[in-house]
Amino acid sequence: MQFIQKDAQITPHYFQDDGVVPNSAFPLIVYQAALSLPEDDPARAFEQVFAANRWSRSWRNGIYSFHHYHATAHEVLGIAQGSARVCMGGEQGVRLTIGPGDVMVVPAGVGHKNLGASSDLLVVGAYPDGQHPDLCRESAREHRHALENIPKVPMPASDPVFGINGAVMNLWKK
Annotated domain spans of the chain: 9-171
Q: Which helix (H) or strand (E) holds 45?
A: helix 42-52
CB atoms within 10 A of CB 26: 24
Check residue 78 and give its pLDDT.
98
The answer to whether the CB of 122 falls within 8 A of the CB of 43 is yes
pLDDT in tens, 63-101: 999 999 999 999 999 999 999 999 999 999 999 999 999
At residue 102's C-alpha, the angle toward residues 87 and 51, to 5°, is 110
Identity (one letter) of the amino acid at 126?
Answer: A
114-159 pLDDT per residue, tens: 999 999 999 999 999 999 999 999 888 899 999 999 999 999 999 9
pLDDT of residue 125: 98
The CATH number of 9-171, from 1.10.10.10, 2.60.40.10, 3.40.50.1100, 2.60.120.10, is 2.60.120.10
